[in-house]
């Protein structure tokens, strides 16, 4: 295969990874931007979304397409309820103290992971894709489902952007992010906003997991890599910056796809880590993050 086909394949694989990574990292960035909470359990909400998708598609016994789209609807809702309950029962009682919430979310990580291990088991299990079709490109055939994931992620990102910038809910979230005390003095229910945001961040991770699980099987340890990559993205883009998250995810996803195809996945991870180090040294607030005063 010549250079052109290899580059096209690498770009498509990079876009696929960037699409899923953007949704996952956006949830992490949203929680930190509004609540100033570093959610170490974010990867486990991702994993829980994938495992629930397997359960729903297996237990219901519908056509793969019906089962998948039912899982795409129900799994994030269940994950959102779990996240909301965790925020109410744990983070709220800690008054969202930065150090305490890091320890608390580490505890959530192990509780969710071990609960899934006990109930789901250690085996990786597949979820059937809603459709199987190969789109014929100039040099090779490519999975139409992979392209569907890229398009679906783009639609969801557009919807999130619209909610954050064009709706009353987005205005309330931005007001809470910029000045909690002033927002509270204007009657904004800060506690309810925090509960909603924490659940929404977990739901974005769960949606990303349901989209990718037909390509990568559900496993109780699958939350680690998305968590680490999400932290890389939000550090490079700037904690709390939606624009920075999208740009950094595209850069990391595309570079990882291209470098993995032409060189090795290990080199791609090394370059990502180097980028984080350079950003922390020369621009600690991230490429698009606001400098703290």
At 121-170, the pLDDT tens digits run: 999 999 999 988 888 877 778 889 999 999 999 999 999 999 988 898 88
Tens digit of each residue's pLDDT (9 = 90 or more) over 272-286: 888 888 888 888 878
Contact 237, 247 (CB under 8 A): yes
pLDDT at 237: 87
Inform me whether the pLDDT recorded for 289 exceeds 70. Answer: no
Residue 52, pLDDT > 60, answer yes
Question: What pLDDT is attached to residue 10?
Answer: 83
Q: Are 116 and 47 in contact (CB under 8 A)?
A: yes
d(CA 284, CA 185): 32
* 83-133 confidence digits (pLDDT tens): 999 999 999 999 889 889 999 999 999 999 999 999 999 999 999 999 888
DSSP per position, 193-222: HHHHHHHHHHHHHHHHHHHHTTTS-B-TTT
pLDDT for the residue numbered 1: 52
Mean pLDDT for the chain overall: 89
> 3-state SS of the chain: helix, strand, coil percent to 5?
75, 5, 25
Q: What are phi and psi of 142, to 5 degrees?
A: -135, 145
**Each residue of 258-274: pLDDT tens digit?**
887 777 777 877 888 88
What pLDDT, on a 0 to 100 scale, did the predictor assign at position 290? 60
In which band, very low, low, confident or very high, does the pLDDT at 246 lie, cut at 50, 70 and 90? confident
How far apart, in whole angstroms, are the C-alpha atoms of residue 17 and residue 257? 7
Nearest Cα neighbor of 195 from 123, 89, 70, 275 is: 89
| Residue 167 burial by Cβ neighbours in a 10 Å radius (0-12, 13-18, 19+) | exposed
């Amino acid at each position: 295969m010549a250079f052109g086909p290899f580059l096209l394949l690498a770009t498509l694989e990079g876009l696929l990874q960037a699409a899923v990574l953007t949704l996952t990292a956006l949830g992490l960035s949203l929680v930190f931007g509004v609540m100033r909470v570093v959610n170490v359990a974010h990867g486990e909400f991702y994993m829980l979304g994938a495992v629930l998708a397997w359960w729903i598609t297996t237990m219901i016994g519908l056509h793969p397409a019906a089962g998948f789209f039912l899982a795409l609807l129900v799994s994030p809702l269940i994950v959102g309820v779990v996240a909301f309950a965790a925020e109410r029962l744990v983070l709220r009682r800690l008054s969202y103290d930065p150090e305490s919430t890091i320890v608390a979310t580490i505890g959530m990580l192990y509780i969710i992971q071990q609960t899934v291990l006990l109930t789901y088991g250690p085996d990786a299990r597949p979820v059937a894709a809603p459709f199987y079709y190969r789109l014929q490109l100039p040099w090779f055939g490519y999975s139409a489902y992979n392209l569907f994931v890229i398009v679906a992620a783009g639609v969801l990102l557009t919807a999130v952007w619209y909610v954050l910038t064009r709706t009353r809910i987005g205005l309330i979230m931005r007001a809470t992010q910029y000045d909690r005390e002033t927002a509270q003095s204007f009657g904004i229910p800060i506690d309810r906003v925090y509960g909603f945001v924490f659940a929404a961040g977990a739901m974005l991770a769960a949606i990303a997991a349901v989209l990718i699980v037909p390509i990568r099987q559900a496993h109780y340890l699958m939350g680690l890599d998305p968590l680490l990559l999400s932290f890389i993205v939000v550090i490079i883009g700037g904690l709390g910056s939606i624009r920075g998250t999208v740009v950094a995810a595209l850069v990391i996803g595309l570079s990882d796809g291209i470098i993995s195809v032409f060189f090795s996945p290990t080199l791609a991870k090394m370059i990502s880590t180097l980028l984080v180090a350079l950003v922390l040294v020369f621009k600690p607030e991230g490429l698009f993050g606001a400098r703290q005063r």
